[in-house]
Structure 1
Amino acid sequence: MTGVQRAAVLLLSLGEADAAEVLKHMGAKEVQKLGLAMATMSGVTREQVMQVMEDFERALARQTSLGVGADDYIRNVLIQALGAEKAGSLIDRILLGRNTTGLDTLKWMDPRAIADLVRNEHPQIIAIVLSHLDPDHAADTLRLLPERARADVLLRIATLDGIPPNALNELNEIMERQFAGNQNLKSSNIGGVKVAANILNFLESGQDHSILNTITKVDPELSQRIQDLMFVFDDLVDLEDRELQMLLREVSGERLGIALRGADPKVRDKITRNMSQRAAEILLEDMEARGPVRLSDVEAAQKEILAIVRRLADEGVINLNGPGAEELV
């Protein structure tokens, strides 16, 4: 089972009340993933449940009880890890148990509902809203906006260089009135070229090319900067062997075989070199036996794998800046 499926089994074993208490401390994406996994779990054996519980018990036993549950300890750790601004809303949610409101409420909403909500707003407002979402969520929302608006919105996202806190708070208050909530945002560091590139990464290939072409006509230099920061499937060849092996553990052989249909031969060679000889043979045999595959299926499989790449990068497991790259300070 995947990590999400194991977590779903654990929550289903806890009972409704305890599972609800755990979910209260999770973000929108985590709750959605776990909820879907819990809803689709079937055919789980007693042995699998016992294995999940034993694994959880062993993991728990490795944790120290010193300081756990202390508000000051949790607050200090989060601030040191994320910085005061990023940790602010997370601390509020964990320690104060506040309801998520304002702009953060959008993270819990369906992309179609968000698109309907902002459709008639100024493109700059839409850009700020999308910058506040996770890249895949923002991409799903962007593709639901009118085609003529997409490039304009993404261009504005790429050129956002932070906005005054009072302006962000004002926008947050507008959203609060929509949802009858009250929350004070502390961070104004949203938007930028990297955010725009991440959103484009989650769009279908035809849509991202169309938007980039439009931006190129307006600002060629900015378009190139966005493209330089986009991570595409063929860039897997730049991952270190250890990083690629970590990725392959999370990808099913079936989806990998479909994704490799449209990949550069160098990518296929590097991937097979980082698999066992038997696994590589099975992969290539399956690809040959499958026959022709629709381009849309290939692109969908590649997008799924790239989403895993970005998650591992966010977790610090892999580095998308290339071997030996270091952040400049």
Structure 2
Amino acid sequence: MTENIEKPSFDVGKLDGVEKAAILLLSLSEEDAAQILKHLEPKQVQKVGSAMAQMTDLNQAKISAVHRLFIEQIQNFSTIGFQSEEFIKRALTAALGEEKAANLIDQIVLGGSAKGLDSLKWMDSKQVANIIRNEHPQIQTIVLSYLAPEQSAEILSQFSEKVRLDLTMRIANLEEVQPAALQELNEIMEKQFAGQAGAQTAKMGGLKAAADILNYLDTNIEGQLLDSIRENDEEMAQQIQDLMFVFENLIDVEDRGIQTLLREVEQDILMKALKGADDALKEKIFSNMSKRAAELLRDDLEAMGPVRVSDVEAAQKEILATARRLADAGEIMLGGGGGDDFL
């Protein structure tokens, strides 16, 4: 009698949120996948689409593991009221996490599409910069505060150093916008690219928003901008700096978070980034690797020739972007405030 041998299951924990979404979409029909993708934000479509294109090792074990996880999360909620708004919110949150789900709920529940200010999220950053270039600085400030920090950083990069300084300080000083004013701006945007957008509560801007945008700027622009802010308002510059998460702050991330991060980072990027890190952070990284992997990385770093500062900074920025993505997905916790040095 032949003994049944159970095939080992795939550890779905090895996958990040984007990879899980990519696998789930690839397992659907093209029509169903398209129906889901059309509701995603631009950056989400780009990330998931890229992950789908790079998914070369897709196998049944991996697909089944993702499906099991998806079903388990969905089954945590009541099977009654499938058509209710509350069910949709819970199902989306279970499948995608709170932040991604929040971005989709209004569009899916209300049956709408990206309109008004939301239309800007789907546009190229240069295009948005051109649209708002001749608007009043206060309107530019609201737009940059409304959009995601990564996109706002790209838009801000299109302006002159003087305008970047003015807008960043305005963002830092902004606390809230009256719903009526935001609605009016929505209507202005609607007239420019058609559509309609409802009024939204307008708690936006502030020091944290400015810090988040600076985190995504090119290193040279970031440094110049922060120096300029310091010349105009030293206290504001220090507050923004304290809220920024820089490469050295990774030392404050718990070990499990570092291990999760390391699984997402390519070896050559890690080596370049560590070339400019202090010994304490290097030891933090080494301690969260296997003994053999840590020894190999130490040897590679010692044998590594000189690396341009710009390459080191770019590698550190890439790792920070990955860390923020994992934090947004709830997979790691970023701790600590900004340090005295900037990338």
Tell me how large the CA RMSD over aligned residues is: 2.7
SS in structure 1 of the partner of residue 187 of structure 2: helix
Separation in 2, partners of 1:264, 1:95: 49
From 213, 219, 233, the equivalent of 2:247 is 233
| Cα deviation, residue 249, structure 1 | 2.2
From 80, 83, 89, the equivalent of 1:70 is 83
Residue identity opposite 2:218 in structure 1: E
From 36, 56, 62, the equivalent of 2:66 is 56
| 1:1-329 mapped onto 2 (5 Å cutoff) | 3=16, 4-5=18-19, 7-38=21-52, 40-41=53-54, 44=56, 48-62=58-72, 63-64=74-75, 66-67=79-80, 69-74=82-87, 77=90, 90-322=104-336
Give the corresponding residue for 1:327. Answer: none
Residue identity opposite 2:120 in structure 1: L
Separation in 2, partners of 1:68, 1:253: 48
Separation in 2, partners of 1:312, 1:270: 19
SS in structure 1 of the partner of residue 264 of structure 2: coil
Call closer, same or farther: CA 1:137–1:263 in 2, change over 3 Å. same
Using the TM superposition, name which of 264-273 and 244-253 deviates more: 244-253
Using the TM superposition, name which of 154-163 and 92-101 deviates more: 92-101
Residue identity opposite 2:321 in structure 1: A
Query: Cα deviations across residues 186-239 of structure 1 (Å, max 9, x unaligned)?
Result: 120110100100110111222112111211122111111001101110111112
Query: Cα deviations across residues 126-178 of structure 1 (Å, max 9, x unaligned)?
Result: 11111111111111111111222101000000000101111111111111111
Maintained 8 Å contact 2:187/2:196: yes
Maintained 8 Å contact 1:216/1:223: yes
Query: Cα deviations across residues 233-288 of structure 1 (Å, max 9, x unaligned)?
Result: 01111122222222222222221111111112211111111111111112222323
Call closer, same or farther: CA 1:133–1:110 in 2, change over 3 Å. same
Maintained 8 Å contact 1:67/1:73: no
Query: Cα deviations across residues 12-60 of structure 1 (Å, max 9, x unaligned)?
Result: 442321111121332222112122334x437x35xx2323322223223
Maintained 8 Å contact 2:251/2:281: yes
Maintained 8 Å contact 1:88/1:186: no
Using the TM superposition, name which of 168-177 and 239-248 deviates more: 239-248
Call closer, same or farther: CA 1:254–1:67 in 2, change over 3 Å. farther
**Structure 2: gaps of 5 or more residues:** 1-13, 95-99, 338-343
Separation in 1, partners of 2:155, 2:107: 25
**Structure 1: gaps of 5 or more residues:** 324-329
Separation in 2, partners of 1:243, 1:52: 23
Q: How many residues align?
A: 315
| Cα deviation, residue 10, structure 1 | 4.2
Call closer, same or farther: CA 1:50–1:317 in 2, change over 3 Å. closer
Maintained 8 Å contact 2:271/2:297: yes
Query: Cα deviations across residues 287-324 of structure 1 (Å, max 9, x unaligned)?
Result: 2344222222211111111112222332333333449x
SS in structure 2 of the partner of residue 14 of structure 1: coil
TM-score normalised by L of structure 1: 0.87
SS in structure 2 of the partner of residue 33 of structure 1: helix
Call closer, same or farther: CA 1:115–1:76 in 2, change over 3 Å. closer
Maintained 8 Å contact 1:257/1:284: no
Maintained 8 Å contact 2:40/2:104: no
Separation in 2, partners of 1:279, 1:257: 12
Maintained 8 Å contact 1:204/1:299: no
Matched residues, percent identical? 49
Using the TM superposition, name which of 194-203 and 12-21 deviates more: 12-21
Separation in 1, partners of 2:167, 2:116: 21
Residue identity opposite 1:281 in structure 2: E
| Cα deviation, residue 105, structure 1 | 1.1
SS in structure 2 of the partner of residue 176 of structure 1: helix
